């Protein structure tokens, strides 16, 4: 199989996408539909390029790469040809998919499906150290997390100590904290790959009860490393790394959602510090957290508005349960109420209210020099969070596939196993291909980020992997038939959990239009 012949197809589409972006005016509201489609098209093309490159080095991946690229070519071509004028293209410019049709044939897809049905998804050889890390956390996920996950989900419980304590002892809360502060990250280099490996394996057990535990410490650690003073880093990073201080991120607001630049919660200067007043929402783990990363407006007159935002580390007692109210002895009140959700249970996402809540001056990240820079510190943290969300999606998809593969082989309908039917094989083929590609894409972006690159790619892989997770978990439920809809099957939880992935760490629409789409238009003109 000569997969190199597929590269020109992707290169041609990349050229067309650049031309389409250049044809737009950059009107983020008036051109929302085009920008949204172009962002996903770019993500598919880049994912195809990544898996082709990997398949050249690992021939076993060639069938997966061929199928995925053919499917991506078909998908992108369809989007462009549906309304070429809107993209500034002539219909004659859009290539035919004839050259990739062999890889979309019934025979090719069912054969790929048989491979996945028989062999599952094979692990990459990541070297002795990372293989050991993967195996360690996979064992923990299987032995500790999975037996507790269903009860946590059904009863909407907090993450129990049976999960938290071992993870603290294993040092996972310090994955993004340098060794000099007691973390696991090398002092002079990044290790985003290691973070992704751990996140994926924990997410296989439970997204809400394990896979997302290290997201908030990572965001806070990155923000502190980016803008914190030496004293702030020395105070907070060791506590984060040890798990002594659990973290939450209090950025999103009811009236702004993913529009972080429009944050309105006020921070008013007062003797010795600041008074926080206003509301936040979707503050995950706020009750159990001992420290909140709070984005607040310190300057109402700043132009542009995002330059009036500052970032604070706010201490609070830890609370069990679904609501709390803290009367600060230094002044003011903070309260929180858990938002009932259809999935992603264990950590709980809170509505938060701050009523003249006093915060000491030394809790402003960066001190006086950090005033007005909160938006940038937050984005630095969120970049890692988006990559980590892609890794979470991979873990959730992997759990779904493993369950679906086993069930479809064991379950007989109309005289034979579910996995023996061509349509089931087609589903397993696409599930297996998407998971393989998403993992390759995620690790590729992790490598870029470790070199100080990959900001755009982190957004693209988040878009792509989260969309893929929704499809994979849906098909997983379908392959289980009626039992897939039953709460006693873990796959129903996977389906419910997957839905949140496209919302947090930047809602899909905002990310596609205002981050990726805007950047693509700007790049096309350079």
* Active-site amino acid positions: 505
412-413/291-297 β-pairing = unpaired
Integer Cα distance of 428 and 459 in angstroms:
27
- What are the tokens at 409? 């082989």
Could you tell me if 309 and 295 are in contact, meaning their C-beta atoms sit under 8 angstroms apart?
Answer: yes
291-297/247-250 β-pairing = parallel
- What SS3 state is found at 161? helix
CA quadruple 302, 307, 313, 314: dihedral sign: positive
Q: Nearest-CA neighbor of 295 among 287, 304, 511, 283?
A: 283
Q: Nearest-CA neighbor of 201 among 244, 279, 153, 143?
A: 143
- What are the tokens at 115? 């491979």
User: What separation in angstroms does the CA of 430 have from each of 64, 201, 513?
Assistant: 9, 21, 27
User: Residue 30 gets which letter from DSSP?
Assistant: T
Integer Cα distance of 353 and 358 in angstroms:
13
Integer Cα distance of 40 and 72 in angstroms:
10
Q: Nearest-CA neighbor of 211 among 460, 394, 431?
A: 394
273-284/349-360 β-pairing = antiparallel
- What are the tokens at 89? 């293209």
Integer Cα distance of 218 and 303 in angstroms:
30
- What are the tokens at 329? 């002895």
What's the helix, strand, coil split of the chain in %, to 5?
60, 10, 25
Could you tell me if 40 and 426 are in contact, meaning their C-beta atoms sit under 8 angstroms apart?
Answer: no
User: What separation in angstroms does the CA of 224 have from each of 99, 177, 245, 310, 377?
Assistant: 50, 10, 14, 13, 8
Number of H helices, E strands in the chain: 16, 10
Could you tell me if 110 and 103 are in contact, meaning their C-beta atoms sit under 8 angstroms apart?
Answer: no
Integer Cα distance of 328 and 456 in angstroms:
41
- What SS3 state is found at 149? helix
Residues 6+ apart with CB under 8 A from 258: 252, 506, 507, 510, 511
Contacts 24+ apart (CB under 8 A), 407-416: 407/479, 407/480, 407/483, 407/491, 408/117, 408/479, 409/117, 411/480, 411/481, 413/481
């Amino acid at each position: 199989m000569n997969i190199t012949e597929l590269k020109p197809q992707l290169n041609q589409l990349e050229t067309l996408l650049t031309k389409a972006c250049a044809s737009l005016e950059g009107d983020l509201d008036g051109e929302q539909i085009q920008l949204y489609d172009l962002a996903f098209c770019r993500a598919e093309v880049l994912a195809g390029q990544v898996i082709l490159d990997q398949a050249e080095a690992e021939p076993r991946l060639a069938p997966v790469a061929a199928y995925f690229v053919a499917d991506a070519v078909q998908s992108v071509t369809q989007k462009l040809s549906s309304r070429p004028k809107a993209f500034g293209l002539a219909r004659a410019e859009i290539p035919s998919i004839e050259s990739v049709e062999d890889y979309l044939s019934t025979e090719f897809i069912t054969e790929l499906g048989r491979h996945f049905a028989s062999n599952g998804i094979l692990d990459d050889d990541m070297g002795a150290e990372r293989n050991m890390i993967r195996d360690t956390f996979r064992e923990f996920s299987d032995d500790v997390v999975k037996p507790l996950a269903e009860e946590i989900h059904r009863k909407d419980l907090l993450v129990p100590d049976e999960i938290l304590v071992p993870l603290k002892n294993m040092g996972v809360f310090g994955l993004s904290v340098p060794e000099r502060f007691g973390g696991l990250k090398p002092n002079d280099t990044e290790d985003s790959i290691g973070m992704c490996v751990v996140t994926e394996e924990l997410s296989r057990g439970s997204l809400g009860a394990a896979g997302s535990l290290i997201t908030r410490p990572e965001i806070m650690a990155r923000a502190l490393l980016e803008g914190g003073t030496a004293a702030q880093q020395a105070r907070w990073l060791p506590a984060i790394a040890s798990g002594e201080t659990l973290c939450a991120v209090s950025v999103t607001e009811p009236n702004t959602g993913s529009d972080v630049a429009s944050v309105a919660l006020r921070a008013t200067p007062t003797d010795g510090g600041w008074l926080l007043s206003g509301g936040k929402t979707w503050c995950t783990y706020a009750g159990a957290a001992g420290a909140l990363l709070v984005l607040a407006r310190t300057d109402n007159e700043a132009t542009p508005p995002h330059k009036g935002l500052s970032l604070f580390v706010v201490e609070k007692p830890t609370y069990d349960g679904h609501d709390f109210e803290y009367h600060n002895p230094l002044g003011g009140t903070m309260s929180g109420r858990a938002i009932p959700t259809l999935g992603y249970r264990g950590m709980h996402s809170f509505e938060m209210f701050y009523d003249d809540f006093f915060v000491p001056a030394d809790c402003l990240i960066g001190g006086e020099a950090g005033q007005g820079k909160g938006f940038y510190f937050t984005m630095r943290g969120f970049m890692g969070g988006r990559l980590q969300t892609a890794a979470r999606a991979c873990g959730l998809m992997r759990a779904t596939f493993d369950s679906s593969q086993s069930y479809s082989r064991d379950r007989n309908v109309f005289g034979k196993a579910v996995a023996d039917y061509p349509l089931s094989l087609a589903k397993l083929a696409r599930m297996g291909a998407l998971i393989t590609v998403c993992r390759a894409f995620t690790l590729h972006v992790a490598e870029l980020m470790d070199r100080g690159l990959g900001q755009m790619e982190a957004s693209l892989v988040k878009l792509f992997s989260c969309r893929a997770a929704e499809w994979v978990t849906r098909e997983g439920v379908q392959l289980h038939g009626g039992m897939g809809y039953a709460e006693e099957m873990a796959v129903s939880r996977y389906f419910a959990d997957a839905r949140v992935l496209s919302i947090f760490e930047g809602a899909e629409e905002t990310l596609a239009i205002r981050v990726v789409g805007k950047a693509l238009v700007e790049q096309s003109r350079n």
